[in-house]
Amino acid sequence: MRYKDKHQLAAEWKTLIERTPGPLRQAVETLVEYHRDLFADRFYGIMLEDPHASLFLSNDQVQQRLNPSMRRWLSMMFAVDHTDFVALVEHQEIVGQVHARIDLPVNLVLNGARQLKQAFYEQINASFESPFSPGEASVYVSDHIDMAMEIMSHAYSVASDRNVRTEEAYKLFSLTQSIGDEHERQRSSLLSWENALMFAVAAQHGAGALPRLANSEFGLWYFHKACHAFEGAPEIATISWHIQQVDGEWLQALSSGDATQRLKALSDIRDAARTILMLLDDVLERASGLEAGRDSLTRLLNRKFLSVVLNREINIARHSEKCFALLMVDIDHFKSINDTHGHDAGDNVLQQVASILDRSTRGGDYVFRMGGEEFLIVLVDTDHDGSRLFAERLRQSVAKEPVLAAADTLLNVTISVGITLHDGHPDYQHSLQRADKALYQAKRSGRNRVVVH
């Protein structure tokens, strides 16, 4: 069932608030402003007691922002005068997306919300000053927090599902850097199954001993990887149907006492294998979900798998002594190259700079084209000095290598680099923003230089 859109949710929240008398809302707002430090401490105290949550929340940067963020959230939630309910909904969605991005379990957030409501009830019963009863105030608070949790949880679920799909697609992508190699590997697997089946038939094995296509090497690859990576492609449903027919009907027919039926089943199976190979050719040629992870111009990684890579590096850093750095790289004065020499020349410059970045990195590093003339390098297993030294060498490599912009045009190109070292923060967006700020500072201070955040 389709979930409500933000405008429906905003209308529902507005109705929920407006059915509560204004004086009661004002009394709750006063209570919140007086006790919000206590409420924030209670919420995060519960969260930090959980060993899993403490992995995400014990970082100093997070700690410095937790209570102020929670206090602002409480003030916003229980303000008497709400003028933009869509913005209120959108804020809860952002919170849910951040929780999903850092993989904070939703049950911990819900437990924190339950404890927060309990803290509210205690203060309402102890010091609530209003002509309305504590019960009415408690219902208002509970409904309000439940509405926020519903929106957060849905946003968390959507973002988490997207993260899982991207993670699985990346696993396949990382194992299949060459579409041609993957094509030949799966063609060979399918033919191996067919040969094994022919041998079993010749040896007069019973139906139960015949090799099932779904259990073959090809079948395992297809159902566990290809179906997910190519979800939505029309060929997938057809291939699945053929596999079901082979395993569910035609293999059984090979045990028939009727020779005509056995020959027809063999013919159907061979036709199915040929059809599957043809459809596989089509789907791998388009390579949706695999080549979609690469920038078509530079052949570097694009943003599709950025979240997967950064979350994985954060997880590695969390469980080891290793650290990683982000280097945001920008080609200096790129717009003037396009304006002076044309966009084809600009594309040539992008390709050649991308090549320098790619060959300058190690096998465990990642190079992304972020868009336009901006690139991101994830430099693994490094430190402050190592990342800065690498960036300086990279800057010098680009500066000293003339770039062939056109058949008769060589250009001297420079880059600006902003660096940040992962500081333990669980949200990769935090590190991206720091690297962006460092790059901005490098460009403002004259370009063709390295700045460390």
Q: Is the pLDDT of residue 400 over 70?
A: yes
What pLDDT, in 10s, does the model give residues 11-35?
998 888 888 888 888 888 988 888 8
> Do 209 and 252 share a structural domain?
yes
> Do 245 and 185 share a structural domain?
yes
Cβ(46)–Cβ(115) under 8 Å?
Answer: yes
> Do 406 and 318 share a structural domain?
yes
What pLDDT, in 10s, does the model give residues 166-196?
665 665 565 455 566 667 888 888 999 999 9
pLDDT at res. 287: 54
> Do 356 and 237 share a structural domain?
no
pLDDT band (50, 70, 90) for residue 289: very low
> Do 256 and 135 share a structural domain?
no
Cβ(47)–Cβ(108) under 8 Å?
Answer: yes
> Do 385 and 353 share a structural domain?
yes
Distinct helix (H) and strand (E) counts, the chain = 18, 7
Let me know if residue 230 belongs to a domain.
Answer: yes
pLDDT band (50, 70, 90) for residue 282: confident
Of 164, 196, 211, at which residue does a domain stop? Answer: 164
Let me know if residue 446 belongs to a domain.
Answer: yes
Let me know if residue 294 belongs to a domain.
Answer: no
> Do 184 and 158 share a structural domain?
no
Question: Rounded distance, CA 185 to CA 216, Å?
Answer: 13
Helix (H, G, I), strand (E, B) or coil at 206: coil
Of 141, 164, 187, at which residue does a domain stop? Answer: 164
Let me know if residue 10 belongs to a domain.
Answer: yes
pLDDT at res. 127: 77
pLDDT at res. 132: 78
> Do 160 and 55 share a structural domain?
yes
pLDDT at res. 390: 95
pLDDT band (50, 70, 90) for residue 161: low
CATH number of the domain that residue 85 is part of: 1.10.490.10
> Do 231 and 157 share a structural domain?
no
Number of domains the chain contains: 3
> Do 50 and 27 share a structural domain?
yes
Q: What's the chain's Rg over C-alpha atoms?
A: 29
Structure tokens at 223: 């159902």
What pLDDT, in 10s, does the model give residues 302-319?
888 888 889 888 888 888
For every residue of 327-360, DSSP letters joined together read EEEEETTHHHHHHHH-HHHHHHHHHHHHHHHHHH
Pairing of strands 450-452, 415-421: parallel
CATH number of the domain that residue 431 is part of: 3.30.70.270
Q: Tell me the mean pLDDT in the region 351-376.
A: 90
Let me know if residue 292 belongs to a domain.
Answer: no
pTM above 0.85, yes or no: no
Per the structure, the complete domain to which residue 313 belongs is given by 303-452
Let me know if residue 437 belongs to a domain.
Answer: yes
Choice among 1-5, 335-339, 354-358, 382-386 with the minimum mean pLDDT: 1-5
> Do 138 and 276 share a structural domain?
no
Let me know if residue 243 belongs to a domain.
Answer: yes
> Do 447 and 344 share a structural domain?
yes
Let me know if residue 279 belongs to a domain.
Answer: yes
